[in-house]
């Protein structure tokens, strides 16, 4: 396989005469690496997705150093890839590679495990240390002088052996280190990113997946999910656990068990009369979210300053109850002298282990929930994989599938789940046996390939032995039947059977491989793979990128290849912990971009189905429909290709705010009045329903002006002081000015577009977004309104979306500036009634967005834009007495009116 079209010679400073032309992104990476070398930077790394040719980039740059090269890789599959690339370089007269730890040549490729030892007792939990072979390698490197070390999948290596790897690099002396990884910095945790910087430095080049797909460097792809409920046996076991959980919560919320019951404590801490909410939301967001979810479900009063978001509208789970219980234990029970509270603590300590938690010196800590183990290894997921494979093979005769599992064979089960699942549940062997037994799949010769076992149905085993013989690995091979009907091929080792199985999948003699992520999910190269079925539980950025990367490579034999990657997720809707597998699914797709059913390239589970939320699984009654829709999407590769064809190769992620009137209030919104069958249109300012007028509060300004003027006159007639008269005159003038403004521009209620234009104008004026940035607004078929920015720089849409959400959302307790909006309301303005006036001018207060509330200058800039697009007064600083009182009065309120609550979510699209 070549690395794709590009330039015939490498860039300046890189190795010339490579055996293939460089692609654009490879050339850019080589130029960045060469520049770093010229600057004397000895530790750098690059991030390129699987299939983007990072092995060739690392090898070319390392060989160009003129030093001896040592390449460290995570497993034997990746080692084989490096040996293959090195052989192609050797064909042009470059150095040949060996796998000898004695370093007999100037290019050596070793697995990191070859250098690592454990304690003398073989304890796997003992800290890793250099083995005798590793010590010899390090001594040889020191003797021979400066080396260039290449760390392939460096992010993965650091995660496993960070301290030892740093020790090796420090002892190696003056050594150039080149890190290669498929994991972009954006998918690393803060700790992982800090570790990378500490050991290898900063990245000098990185390329995301969407631009490479748009340029044709990677195959177009789609991400889909198969939703399933646990099996009947598993459901019965889960029902027992659910009963135990319900009994625990019933006990926990019994007010008689303590001097202050848990719910009473929560009301005291965060209820209507409490002032502790702002502190909690700032210092403990997990606890704050738990409080809001319980309040939204009706178990607690809603804290008066609280702001509900998408996450806190989800149903509360066991972890939310335990977060409240942790606070109750720490701040109430433990500090009490009441004997009931001491008894409650002991009872809590006794009950928590049954829910896979414990109460220790520092509070409630989680263990490994048995419910999550059952869901992760549910046999329903294996059966879902069979349905996916069968449907895929029937729809596409050229399909080649890779099914990845966490473990190869039986894994020892903890006693608490022994009755729920079998030892083979979730294993690659179990999936392979189900595939082999299904007549829809068995003719595709499914093969099981793991580090300790290669097997399949009789026909597949025979073809494998035949293929191995053709590759020179067939001597001494035999077969033995296993108790699940599979035939095990014996007489060889993993490198040989991986090579033979790869040849079978590439030729089409086998169309389905089942294996483990450890062996086939990282570094293994088979361009014919058209899809991955992910049954694993790993959610790290490395695991996700590597797993999906198996299908993203372009296939020279099939230029129109489209990859279809599946995840399988088990949800127990009747259990408080039944969404654990869903939460794993969410973590897998966080930051990973793919097309949704409308063709938009979005991240998170929204690309699986735009109806999905990252905060709660869909209801079980939608599973069948969602699965059917996913199968239909998989059968239309043309739509997938067209979705990616519209991607800008030079683009970047762009945040957007998606807004709909809240459920049950679709016909009462202050900005948009929408009934289910209404047709939407633009009137130049916002969305309207043709033929339906907006409210026109223009007379209210005049009413207020007249009322204040009359008030001033009465003050004068009553003998008021000149100062009072001046004050009343100023008030009348201010009201008249506002009335004039409203008479010109407030003939309609401000729309969401007006707020968005205000935010954009202020951000542009403050230099926080580029001058060409424009408001991008879309209307979805269901009336959802989507706001973002076009022609803006990276990250600027995120700033805009956050600012807009703060302006139209409930006023937060931390707002530094407030700004008012006048609207028509019922009743009269002020204490004086003026005959003939039927309305009043009321004030609504909005928060000035945080990014523009950092200074008075920025707040005034926002106020100027507000006056132009919305109408209102000056920004009021809440750090002084008047502003603080105002904030206390309006925090937590919806500035658009409680009867017109809007629901919005934030999404990211490419």
Residue 398 burial class via C-beta count within 10 angstroms: exposed 0-12, middle 13-18, buried 19 and up: middle
Query: For 563-610, what is each residue's pLDDT tens digit?
Result: 999 999 999 988 888 898 999 999 889 888 999 998 889 888 989 998
Selection from 830, 676, 850, 858 nearest residue 762 by Cα: 858
- What local confidence, expressed as pLDDT, does residue 895 receive? 80
Q: Are 304 and 297 in contact, with CB atoms under 8 Å apart?
A: no
Please list, in sequence order, all residues whose beta carbon lies within 8 angstroms of the beta carbon of residue 284, skipping any fewer than 6 positions away: none
The CA-atom distances, in angstroms, between 560 and each of 1, 216, 226, 528, 796 are: 16, 10, 25, 11, 36
- What local confidence, expressed as pLDDT, does residue 274 receive? 64
Please list, in sequence order, all residues whose beta carbon lies within 8 angstroms of the beta carbon of residue 727, skipping any fewer than 6 positions away: none
- What local confidence, expressed as pLDDT, does residue 818 receive? 93
Q: Are 808 and 796 in contact, with CB atoms under 8 Å apart?
A: no
* 423 φψ region: left (φ > 0), alpha (ψ -120 to 50), beta (else): alpha
Distance separating alpha carbons of residues 349 and 199, to the nearest angstrom:
42
Query: For 373-431, what is each residue's pLDDT tens digit?
Result: 899 999 999 999 999 999 999 999 899 999 999 899 877 777 777 778 888 888 999 99
DSSP H stretches of helix in 1-75:
24-38, 54-63
Q: Are 190 and 198 in contact, with CB atoms under 8 Å apart?
A: no
> Mind listing the domains of the chain with CATH numbers?
24-207 (3.40.50.300), 217-231+378-400+558-651 (no CATH), 232-368 (no CATH), 403-525 (no CATH), 745-909 (no CATH)
Max CA distance (Å), the chain? 117
* 778 φψ region: left (φ > 0), alpha (ψ -120 to 50), beta (else): beta
Helix (H) or strand (E) holding 267: helix 262-270
Model pTM score:
0.75
- What local confidence, expressed as pLDDT, does residue 837 receive? 32
Q: Are 504 and 536 in contact, with CB atoms under 8 Å apart?
A: no
Query: For 133-190, what is each residue's pLDDT tens digit?
Result: 888 888 888 888 788 989 988 876 776 677 777 777 777 777 888 999 887 777 777 7
Distance separating alpha carbons of residues 48 and 732, to the nearest angstrom:
66
Q: CA 812: distance to chain centroid?
A: 26
Distance separating alpha carbons of residues 199 and 241, to the nearest angstrom:
45
Low-confidence residues in the chain, pLDDT < 70: 1-20, 91-95, 117-128, 156, 159-160, 272-276, 305, 540-542, 661-749, 781-782, 823-842, 897-903
Q: Where are the beta strands (DSSP E) in 194-269?
A: 203-206, 221-228
Residue 352: strand, helix, or coil: helix
Q: How many CB atoms lie within 10 A of CB 44?
A: 22
Residue 220, token pair as written in the block:
């177009």
- What percent of the chain is predicted at pLDDT more than 90? 35
Please list, in sequence order, all residues whose beta carbon lies within 8 angstroms of the beta carbon of residue 444, skipping any fewer than 6 positions away: 393, 510, 511, 512
Residue 158: strand, helix, or coil: helix
- What local confidence, expressed as pLDDT, does residue 497 receive? 86
């Amino acid at each position: 396989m070549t690395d794709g079209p590009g330039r015939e010679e490498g860039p300046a400073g890189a190795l010339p005469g490579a055996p293939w032309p460089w692609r654009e992104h490879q050339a850019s990476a080589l130029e960045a690496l060469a520049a770093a070398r010229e600057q004397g930077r000895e530790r750098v790394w690059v991030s390129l997705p699987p299939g983007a040719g990072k092995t060739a980039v690392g090898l070319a740059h390392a060989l160009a150093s003129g030093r001896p090269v040592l390449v460290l890789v995570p497993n034997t599959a990746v080692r084989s890839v490096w040996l293959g690339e090195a052989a192609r370089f050797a064909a042009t007269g470059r150095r040949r590679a060996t796998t000898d730890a004695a370093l007999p040549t100037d290019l050596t490729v070793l697995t990191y495990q070859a250098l690592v030892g454990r304690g003398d007792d073989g304890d796997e939990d003992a800290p890793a240390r250099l083995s005798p072979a590793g010590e010899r390698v390090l001594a040889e490197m020191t003797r021979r002088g400066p080396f260039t070390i290449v760390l392939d999948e460096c992010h993965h290596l650091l995660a496993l052996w960070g301290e030892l790897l740093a020790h090796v690099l420090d002892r190696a002396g003056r050594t150039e280190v080149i890190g290669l990884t498929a994991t972009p910095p954006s998918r690393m945790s803060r700790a992982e990113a800090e570790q990378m910087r500490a050991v290898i430095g900063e990245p000098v080049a990185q390329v995301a997946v969407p631009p490479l797909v748009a340029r044709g460097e990677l195959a177009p792809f789609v991400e889909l999910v198969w939703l399933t409920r646990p099996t009947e046996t598993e459901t019965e076991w889960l029902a027992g656990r659910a009963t135990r959980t319900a009994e625990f919560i019933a006990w926990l919320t019994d007010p008689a068990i303590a001097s202050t019951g848990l719910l009473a404590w929560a009301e005291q801490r965060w209820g209507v009369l409490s002032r502790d909410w702002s502190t909690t939301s700032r210092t403990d967001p997990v606890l704050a979210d738990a409080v809001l979810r319980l309040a939204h479900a009706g178990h607690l009063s809603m804290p008066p300053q609280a702001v509900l978001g998408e996450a806190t509208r989800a149903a509360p789970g066991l972890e939310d109850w335990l977060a409240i219980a942790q606070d109750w234990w720490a701040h109430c029970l433990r500090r009490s002298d009441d004997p009931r509270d001491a008894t409650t603590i002991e009872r809590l300590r006794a009950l928590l282990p049954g829910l896979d938690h414990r109460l220790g010196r520092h509070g409630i800590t989680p263990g490994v929930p048995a419910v999550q183990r059952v869901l992760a290894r549910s046999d329903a997921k294996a059966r879902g994989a069979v349905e996916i494979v069968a449907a895929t093979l029937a729809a596409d005769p050229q399909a080649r599938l890779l099914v990845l599992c966490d473990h190869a064979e039986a894994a020892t089960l903890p006693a608490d789940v022994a009755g729920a699942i079998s030892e083979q549940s979730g294993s690659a062997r179990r999936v392979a046996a189900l595939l082999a037994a299904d007549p829809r799949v068995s003719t595709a010769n499914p093969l099981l390939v793991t580090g300790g076992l290669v097997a399949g149905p009789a026909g597949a085993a025979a073809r494998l032995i035949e293929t191995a013989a053709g590759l020179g690995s067939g001597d001494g091979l035999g077969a033995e039947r296993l108790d699940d009907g599979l035939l095990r091929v014996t007489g060889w080792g993993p490198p040989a059977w991986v090579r033979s199985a790869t040849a079978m999948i590439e030729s089409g003699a086998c169309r389905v491989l089942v294996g483990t992520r450890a062996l086939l999910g990282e570094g293994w190269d088979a361009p014919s793979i058209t899809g991955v079925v992910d049954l694993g539980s790993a959610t790290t950025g490395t695991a996700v990128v590597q797993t999906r990367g198996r299908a993203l490579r372009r296939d020279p034999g099939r230029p129109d290849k489209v990859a279809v990657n599946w995840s399988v997720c088990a949800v127990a809707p009747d259990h408080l912990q039944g969404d654990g597998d869903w939460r794993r699914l969410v973590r897998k797709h966080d930051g990973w971009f793919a097309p949704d059913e409308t063709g938009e390239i979005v991240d998170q589970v929204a690309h699986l189905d735009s109806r999905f939320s990252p905060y709660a699984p869909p209801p079980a009654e939608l599973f069948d429909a969602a699965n059917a829709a996913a199968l239909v999407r998989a059968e239309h590769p043309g739509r997938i290709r067209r979705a990616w064809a519209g991607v800008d190769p030079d683009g970047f992620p762009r945040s957007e705010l998606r807004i709909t009137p809240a459920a049950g209030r679709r016909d009462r919104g202050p900005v948009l009045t929408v009934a289910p069958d209404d047709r939407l249109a633009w009137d130049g300012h916002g969305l309207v329903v043709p033929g339906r007028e907006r409210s026109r509060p223009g007379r209210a300004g005049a009413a207020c002006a007249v009322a204040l003027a009359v008030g001033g006159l009465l003050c004068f007639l009553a003998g008021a002081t000149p100062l009072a008269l001046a004050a009343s005159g100023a008030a009348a003038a201010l009201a008249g000015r506002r009335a004039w403004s409203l008479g010109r521009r407030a003939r309609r209620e401000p729309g969401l577009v007006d707020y968005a234009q205000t935010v954009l104008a202020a951000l542009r004026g403050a230099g926080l977004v580029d001058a060409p940035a424009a408001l991008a607004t879309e209307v979805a078929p269901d009336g959802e309104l989507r706001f973002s920015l076009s022609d803006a720089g990276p990250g600027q849409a995120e700033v805009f979306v956050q600012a807009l959400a703060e302006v139209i959302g409930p006023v937060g307790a931390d707002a530094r500036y407030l700004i008012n909006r006048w609207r028509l309301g019922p009743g009269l303005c002020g204490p004086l009634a003026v005959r003939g006036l039927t309305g009043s001018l009321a004030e609504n207060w909005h928060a000035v967005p945080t990014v523009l509330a950092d200074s008075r200058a920025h707040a005034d800039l926002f106020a100027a834009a507000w006056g132009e697009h919305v109408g209102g007064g000056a920004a009021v600083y809440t750090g002084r007495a008047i502003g603080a009182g105002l904030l206390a009065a309006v925090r937590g309120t919806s500035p658009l009116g409680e009867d017109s609550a809007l629901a919005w979510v934030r999404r990211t699209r490419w």
